[in-house]
Amino acid sequence: MASDMIGENEINHDRIDHIVAARDSAGATDNHERLLVIIDSRALDRQCLAQSIIAHNMDMQVLALGTMVDWGQHRNNYPAPSAILLNVGARRIAEPFITAEIRELSSEFATTPVIVLADTDELAQVVKALEYGAKGYIPSSVSIDVCIEAIGLALAGGIFVPASSILAMGRLLETGNAVAHPLAGMFTARQAEVVEALRRGKANKIIAYELNLRESTVKVHIRNIMKKVKATNRTEVAFKINDLFPADTPVDGTNWLDP
């Protein structure tokens, strides 16, 4: 008896993505001039997101792609993108590949808003995304309705950022004068190394690996650092340090206290 099961390798994901877009435009008469392109290397994630947006009757065609390189295969069948939604998931904006992708998209599609969708609402991530050319930053914690409104805002020329990030910035500004300039003498040599890693957006596991520490030890250092700079979270630590020391100025250990 022939099996009805289909192996993952037998599935044409490109065709499925094309069908997702086709369903959106079937029977439509007034949305052919606007196209939302979703970029996500994870097939299931991008197809689910596309279907969710389509189900909410957004007045646009929706095309889900693994990379923008795939756009070349579809550009003759669709209008130019009106907006590009780049889903980076849990990856960091500062990762070279993500940084390059945002910059390249923003440059190649200069008149098209590029909106970043990510799993975190950390202020540092938001600022970096905007710095690299994004016209909006949507955390995956929002509802599909908010996501659609954020895309609409970008289409209208606005920039969406999560409220939590704005609140974090407010707290940062309120306490900005509480830290002495400079911070020399405040940290031990080991804490200085952790501070340098934090300002570069590194995760605790990476910091632990690079400094040959236990992750629990890294967390203790971070808590002590937060107390010293009067920060409520690691994002505020990074921003306060970056405010005090420009990005191209290393936080060296010459003036730090001995451990």
Query: Model confidence over 195-230: pLDDT tens digits?
Result: 888 888 888 999 998 888 899 999 999 998 888 878
**Which architecture does CATH list for 176-244?**
Orthogonal Bundle (1.10)
Within the chain, all domains assigned CATH 3.40.50.2300 are found at: 8-167
Whether 182 and 157 have beta carbons less than 8 Å apart is answered as no
- Average pLDDT for 69-98: 93
Q: Binning pLDDT at 50, 70 and 90, where does residue 181 land?
A: very low
Question: Of the candidates 33, 72, 126, which has an alpha carbon nearest to the alpha carbon of residue 115?
Answer: 126
Instruction: Assign 10 a pLDDT band (cuts: 50, 70, 90).
Output: very low
CA 213 to chain centre: 28
Give CA separation, 80 vs 24, 43, 58, 77, in Å: 16, 22, 17, 10
Q: Which residues contact 175 (CB under 8 A, 6 or more apart)?
A: 230, 231, 236
Residue 176, pLDDT score: 54
Between β-strands 114-118 and 137-139, what pairing exists: parallel, antiparallel or unpaired?
A: parallel
Contact 133, 112 (CB under 8 A): no
Q: Which helix (H) or strand (E) holds 85?
A: strand 83-89
Pick 51 or 19 by higher pLDDT.
Answer: 51
Asked if residue 5 has pLDDT above 70, the reply is no
pLDDT for residue 178: 44
Task: Report, as an integer, the average pLDDT of 155-183.
Answer: 69
pLDDT of residue 122: 84
pLDDT at 1: 45
Q: Where along the chain do the CATH 1.10.10.10 domains lie?
A: 176-244
Which superfamily does 8-167 belong to?
Response regulator (3.40.50.2300)
State the average pLDDT for the chain.
Answer: 79
Helical ranges in the chain per DSSP H:
13-25, 43-55, 96-108, 123-131, 144-155, 163-174, 189-199, 204-211, 215-229, 234-244
Predicted confidence (pLDDT) per residue in 229-250, tens digit? 788 888 888 777 776 555 444 4
